[in-house]
Structure 1
Amino acid sequence: MLTAIVIGAGRRGTIYAQYAHLYPDRLQIVGVADPREFYRNKFQKDFDIQEENCFSDWSEASKRDRMSDCAIITTPDRLHKEPAIAFAKKGYSILLEKPMAVNEEDCREIVETCKENGVTLVICHVLRYTPWAQKLRELIDSGVIGEVVNINHTEGVGCWFFAHSFVRGNWHIEADSSSSLLTKCCHDVDLINYWMAGRRCSNVTSFGHLSHFNKKDKPPGSASRCIDCPPNIESQCHYSAMKIYLDQVKQADTGFPVSVITEEPTIESVTTALKTGPYGVCVYDNDNDVMSNQVVNMQFEGGASATLTMIAFTSSALPRDVKIYGTKGQLSCVATDSPVIKHADFLTGETHEYPAEPVTHKGMAGHGGADFYCMHSFVKSLANENPADILTGPEESLRSHLIVFAAEKARKENRVVSLQPEGNYNCVNYVTSR
């Protein structure tokens, strides 16, 4: 049995820790650190943690002799680096929520510290561990579509989800968290990097825009808070906090997203949160500044290309849609709970279907079950001392992060960004490079 301390008792930390409930013979949670008393106490109770192993400050835990085999770090994005480095120096294996960090320098420091101390580092690019993503890679490696020429990948964030997380929520201001491309779509950039099967990304461009969620689109006569908005306007608003949160709790559903806006969701507590907290503010009256739609164009060694489209304006959080074009055929997959990969063969004209293993797992259904597969691989790799079980180790995940950082630099400076073999990137003027 492996033991773990969880640094950050929020939604992500709680999801990963659920593995200990599913497989108590494989993993035991023995410690927790979180400055929020309610969430720390709830986590302590859920996992039966001794009082002396509960901390309001992770640094207090890091000063102790090593109390567990690994540390699961799920602090806010900008607070990943310090605990990752501190616990790595103490000899803990590290499971680190994505993004690894919000800039290249911090990412490199985390990687180097883990290497210097000989500890395992796994980044939660969880989608690589899903059966459908691995089946796509298997088919690519088999050569059934020849050489990959292009990957076209779309991430439909979902209109209400974007409003919740990136207009009202923790990721709505880049300076407080990071870009929406990094915080939401580093998963997708990582998948593209994975399916390119070791080919280095050489050049990146990107274009984005903050569409619709700004003051110029605010309906005339609307209020600054949804709860104060005239009924004739609120009833016609797609992003009304009354619809997203209050209607949900009225149906006795206290799960995500209402579980985020108040500690113990009730009609009364949710109403209070909408009157006083950030989740009740009009989406057109906020200070959000992250992109609501963005496209990233990548060129890889040998001339292969890839396009990632992130779009907020979908009816729900749509399954990821991927198309992979090769010299001998093409693959397509919509990442539902029971995905089917379709293969079109150019020579025979036939279409083959490859059903992937259903990805939902009872008790750990986050990211369509990907959270379970990531934790399962992490625990198995440590228990068996088998690095082959890890698909998102430090070097591989660093490469994916560098592509995201390059894409944001390209977008902000209107440039083509070239990534050098050693991983540093060099800017080339967009106009003169054409």
Structure 2
Amino acid sequence: MGQSTLPSGTGPLTLAIIGCGQRGRAYTDYALQEPTACKVVAIAEIRPKTRNLFAQAHSVDKTLVFDDWKELHKASAETIKAVGTRLADAVIVAVHDQMHMEVVLAFAEQGYHILCEKPMSTNIDDCIKMEAAVKKASIIFGMGHVLRYSPYNTALTEIIRSGELGPLINVVHVEPVGYFHFAHSYVRGHWAKEEDSCFSLMTKSCHDIDILCHWLSPSGPSRVSSFGSLRHFRKQSKPAAAGAATSCLECPYEKDCAYSAKKIYLDRVARGEKGWPVSPIVDGVPDIESVEYALRHTKWGRCVYESDNDVCDNQVVNLEFDDGTTASFTMVAQTALICERQSRLHFASGEIVGDMSSFTVTDFRKGTVKKHSPGLEGGGHGGGDLGLIRTFVAAVRTGRQELLGTDVSEVLKSHLTVFAAETSRREGRVVDCVAFEKEARERVSL
């Protein structure tokens, strides 16, 4: 279709949303908060109630509400052919992970600027094809690595870049996923089985590897090793008191089980809590009847020890960068904290210790200790969701990819580092990151 162009006019940037679930809503809340900045004008969503509620919230014209992305893409092609304009300035891709490449390639070819939810895709070949398509289309491309865009990480990154503590030598970074979060998403949920999505280091923690690469840039990963397993959420760990029960609503151990679906979903909606994690298990606004039905008749009520999940619930990654800097990352399910990362950054002349809401800077030379508490914004990931969509809108408006602080090739490199780490875990070897990328690119014929 040719190269993309900058949005015309001075009105809000127009967006087409593909996937109106949790992540689609997270990014488009900005359009409701700042209607002069951007506006949702077209949507595609397979779930009827979710689709209708989203369309109503954003006052989307009925002619631009579609059941799936292919219908939207077809309507876009017809509009481009008839009048030479697209349906929107940009597309937000928030469908299931394994669909990302197909959707991105289709809309990049039509010249849309694209914000794609993480991960880029679920296999190496698709990621490389996406890089080529984005480059060919010369579009603005944003990736859902939201950690980069929170006020906390923005402030922390500024100190790293300033050099005031000397060179960064080592980073220790932990993602506490959260015990019921992991049960929801990675045991019962969409990301439970690798064949249906991808391995958990990619689906949950690719933006943690990305933020490590961001902090340590311009140095790049040279070697990686990794260890991990599905340690707890398996039949061998099932409490004896649960007996032969496979459903939480019929389990004699349910009241004592940390992973009870009744506690995680039904008790929450009974208290009037209708957001995550309750909202994803039903189509439309959750209530007691719809949630109980989901627990009795779908995977959401299944015992976590009797589920068909197979992704790691704990994993460690060790990275060596080409300047000798090292980093370690731990992803673990069994935590009380829910995704509230903890980081220790060690410099030649100081140290930073933080927890996603505040961080303390110790300067060895000055003998000072200073606490920083960047203002938290609304939205998920400490304001990272809002920060990303706001930055993406600005980048599209001005035609400046650099505002996003990354580009599609850098996005690909951080994903390749995640793939290399998983290769290390599976094969029990240290992986050369440079050779790994070279082999991957040679394998994909474009």
**Global fold match (TM > 0.5):** yes
Whether the 8 Å contact between 1:213 and 1:284 is mirrored in structure 2 is yes
Counterpart in 2 of 1:384?
Answer: 398
Counterpart in 1 of 2:312?
Answer: 291
Whether the 8 Å contact between 1:32 and 1:44 is mirrored in structure 2 is yes
Distance in 1 (alpha carbons) for counterparts of 2:261 and 2:438: 43
Secondary structure, in 3 states, of the residue corresponding to 1:303?
Answer: coil
How big is the shift at 1:397?
1.1
Instruction: Check if 1:4 corresponds to 2:15.
Output: yes
- Structure 1 counterpart of 2:58, which letter? F
Q: 338, 343, 360: which one pairs with 1:342?
A: 360
- Structure 1 counterpart of 2:41, which letter? V
How big is the shift at 1:425?
5.5
Instruction: Check if 1:353 corresponds to 2:367.
Output: no
Distance in 2 (alpha carbons) for counterparts of 1:301 and 1:353: 31
Whether the 8 Å contact between 1:359 and 1:370 is mirrored in structure 2 is no
Q: Deviations over 1:379-407 (max 9, x none)?
A: 11112223331124212211110110000
Q: Deviations over 1:258-288 (max 9, x none)?
A: 1111223221221111111111000111111
Distance in 2 (alpha carbons) for counterparts of 1:87 and 1:381: 18
User: Once the two structures are aligned, what percentage of the paired residues are identical?
Assistant: 40
Instruction: Check if 1:271 corresponds to 2:289.
Output: no
Counterpart in 2 of 1:87?
Answer: 107
Secondary structure, in 3 states, of the residue corresponding to 1:94?
Answer: strand
Instruction: Check if 1:313 corresponds to 2:327.
Output: no
Instruction: Check if 1:204 corresponds to 2:224.
Output: yes
Distance in 2 (alpha carbons) for counterparts of 1:286 and 1:387: 43
Distance in 1 (alpha carbons) for counterparts of 2:241 and 2:372: 53
Whether the 8 Å contact between 1:213 and 1:283 is mirrored in structure 2 is yes
Whether the 8 Å contact between 2:152 and 2:382 is mirrored in structure 1 is no
- Structure 1 counterpart of 2:248, which letter? C
Q: Deviations over 1:202-261 (max 9, x none)?
A: 00100001111110111224210010011xx21111111111111101111111111111
- Structure 1 counterpart of 2:327, which letter? A
Whether the 8 Å contact between 1:4 and 1:28 is mirrored in structure 2 is yes
Distance in 2 (alpha carbons) for counterparts of 1:288 and 1:387: 38
Secondary structure, in 3 states, of the residue corresponding to 1:302?
Answer: coil
Instruction: Check if 1:43 corresponds to 2:54.
Output: yes
Distance in 1 (alpha carbons) for counterparts of 2:114 and 2:127: 14
Counterpart in 2 of 1:15?
Answer: 26
Counterpart in 2 of 1:52?
Answer: 63
TM norm structure 1: 0.93
Q: 192, 202, 225: which one pairs with 1:182?
A: 202
- Structure 2 stretches of 5 or more lacking a match? 1-11, 81-85, 441-446
Whether the 8 Å contact between 1:163 and 1:283 is mirrored in structure 2 is yes
Counterpart in 1 of 2:9?
Answer: none
How big is the shift at 1:360?
2.4
- Structure 1 counterpart of 2:57, which letter? D
- Superposed counterparts of 1:57-68, under 5 Å: 57-63=68-74, 64=77, 65=80, 66-68=86-88
RMSD of Structure 2 on Structure 1 (CA): 1.4
Whether the 8 Å contact between 2:187 and 2:304 is mirrored in structure 1 is yes
- Superposed counterparts of 1:17-416, under 5 Å: 17-63=28-74, 64=77, 65=80, 66-222=86-242, 223-230=245-252, 233-263=253-283, 264-336=285-357, 339=358, 341-356=359-374, 358-361=375-378, 365-416=379-430
Distance in 2 (alpha carbons) for counterparts of 1:127 and 1:141: 17
Whether the 8 Å contact between 1:419 and 1:425 is mirrored in structure 2 is no
- Structure 2 counterpart of 1:303, which letter? G
Distance in 2 (alpha carbons) for counterparts of 1:83 and 1:56: 14
Q: 1:57 to 1:268 in 2, by over 3 A?
A: closer
- Structure 1 counterpart of 2:421, which letter? A
- Structure 2 counterpart of 1:350, which letter? T
Kindly indicate which of the two structures has a greater share of residues assigned to helix: 2
How big is the shift at 1:350?
2.3
- Structure 2 counterpart of 1:168, which letter? R
Secondary structure, in 3 states, of the residue corresponding to 2:196?
Answer: coil
Following TM superposition, the consecutive aligned residue runs of length 4 or more in structure 1 with deviations greater than 3 angstroms are: none
Whether the 8 Å contact between 1:417 and 1:425 is mirrored in structure 2 is no
Whether the 8 Å contact between 1:226 and 1:242 is mirrored in structure 2 is yes
How big is the shift at 1:306?
0.4
How big is the shift at 1:60?
2.4
- Structure 1 stretches of 5 or more lacking a match? 427-434
How big is the shift at 1:156?
0.2
Whether the 8 Å contact between 1:173 and 1:289 is mirrored in structure 2 is yes
